[in-house]
Amino acid sequence: MSQGSRFPGFYKLSIDERRERVCKASGLDPADFNQALTGGGLDPSTADKVVENVLGIYGLPFGVALNVRVNGTDRLVPMVVEEPSVIAAASNAAKMIRAGGGFEAQMAEDLMISQVQLYDVPDRASAVRKLEAHRQELLELAATAAGGLIARGGGPREIEVRDLGDGCVVVHLLVDCRDAMGANLVNGMAEQIGPRAAELAKGKLGLRILSNLCDRRRVHVRCRVHAKALTLSRGGHVVVPGEEVLDGIVQASRFAELDPYRAATHNKGIMNGVDAVVLATGNDFRAVEAGAHAYAARSGRYAPLAVWRRDGADLIGELEMPLALGIVGGTLRVHPVARAALALMRVESASELSQVAASAGLASNLAALRALATEGIQRGHMSLHARSVAIAAGALGDEVEAVAQDIAVAGQINVDAAEQALARIRNA
């Protein structure tokens, strides 16, 4: 089984040929993979058991980012995203990063936070002391709601007590969720310890729910890119030398560090990569988004999740963010495409999945900054966007590429121009 992630010319293959290549590389059974991807993987009657008032299924493109190497292992990275150029850009940036040794990733910490709110606490200081003194008892009580998690090596690990003022004390239960995202697990444990915590604090019991600001479950990714690899060339000619591109990216990073308006867009570029992997693997992207942006604002000022610095002739990128992902439980159990995505990636733990998703985020960020710091985003973006516009105008099969080229060359990427181009092609 050869797990590589470099497939030159992959984009030129048909969908069937691409499936064949990735199955061969990752050891997947092509029949199983094809079946999983047919029709988006979920049938209406299964969907009807997942959520309420189901009318049908909503499809999105499922692609794969190439060239990704994380901690010395090649990964095929499944991405579900509707925006043209995200997958190509991540693959292209991953190739530059690969030349500098690939991504180095690890979990900085791996604990989920569940909160128990206590209010109308008459003496907060003594409540905090009492709750801390009963830490072991609360952990043991939480463990009784942990189900099979303890046998899998996880479970409640720590109790933290925070005095919020205004009669309010909150207990944080920190839980090692192993390969589960863990929302249901930690909510259950918070509900289990809630009444006893309220009794100890002599307060009223409020909410018992996880925190999506899971800043104790953080992933850290670092990469090194040689200046030469950043060179922007067109038709064999250097348009912007790598050294200049490197400085432009460092300046772009500084801009995001100085300005929350820019930081939001910078982080959106990171989430292009992260969310696409989160969606492909059936994980909760709303939770990931909430955590990422709350973490970005943790200092009181919204900041970039990834920063870029010069190190001699190299560019160093570093990303740290909270990421609560699972490879077991939840929607994953019923969604064949999510299972196929995990198999394609060959991740064996939730932490490996987080490391790959964050690497896709850092690659997406690099691709966006490199484009923005040189010729601007529109050139690459709009030529790919032209295909969607061609489809919206009714182009089919080979017409899509022909119409897209026509409107891109004319610099008229809109549905009216695409309809006219389509009519010309059909009349020719």
List residues near ligand MEV by CB under 6 A: 83, 265-266, 268-269, 272, 368-369, 372, 377
> What gap in Å lies between CA 7 and CA 1, rounded to an integer?
16
Q: Which of 83, 160, 243, 375 does the annotation list as catalytic?
A: 83
- Closer CB to ligand MEV, residue 157 or residue 268? 268
Shortest approach of ligand MEV to residue 250 CB, angstroms?
A: 14
Q: Tell me, what amino acid is at 324? A: A
Pairing mode, if any, of strands 73-80 and 62-70?
A: antiparallel
- Cβ-contact 275, 288 below 8 angstroms: yes
Q: C-alpha angle 171/219/73, rounded to 5°?
A: 145
Active site residue 95: no
Q: How far is CA 187 from CA 145, 182, 207, 229, 391, in A?
A: 10, 8, 10, 47, 45
Q: Which is nearer to ligand MEV, 37 or 377 (CB)?
A: 377
Longest dimension (CA), the chain: 85
Q: What are phi and psi of 106, to 5 degrees?
A: -155, 165
Residue nearer to ligand MEV on the CB measure, 90 or 111: 90
Minimum CB–partner distance for residue 252 and ligand MEV (Å): 7
Choose, from 284, 399, 406, 419, the residue flagged as catalytic: 284
**Residue closest to ligand MEV, measured at CB:** 269
Distance CA 23, CA 3 (A): 10
Interstrand relation of 232-234 and 62-70 (parallel, antiparallel or unpaired): unpaired
284 in active site: yes
CB-based contacts of 55: which residues, under 8 Å, 6+ apart? Answer: none
Token pair for residue 301?
Answer: 């000022």
Least distance in angstroms from the C-beta of 316 to ligand MEV: 18
Q: Which of 283, 279, 278 is nearest to 330 (CA)?
A: 283
Q: How far is the CB of 388 from ligand MEV (least distance, A)?
A: 14
From the candidates 381, 399, 406, 419, give the one annotated as an active-site residue.
381
Told to judge if 83 belongs to the known catalytic residues of this protein, a careful annotator would answer: yes
**Closest separation between CB of residue 99 and ligand MEV, Å?**
22
Nearer to ligand MEV, 22 or 368 (CB): 368
**Minimum gap (Å) between residue 143 Cβ and ligand MEV:** 43
Q: Which is nearer to ligand MEV, 124 or 387 (CB)?
A: 387
Cβ-based nearer residue to ligand MEV, 149 or 371: 371
Q: Which of 20, 259, 268, 318 is catalytic?
A: 268
Catalytic residue list: 83, 268, 284, 381
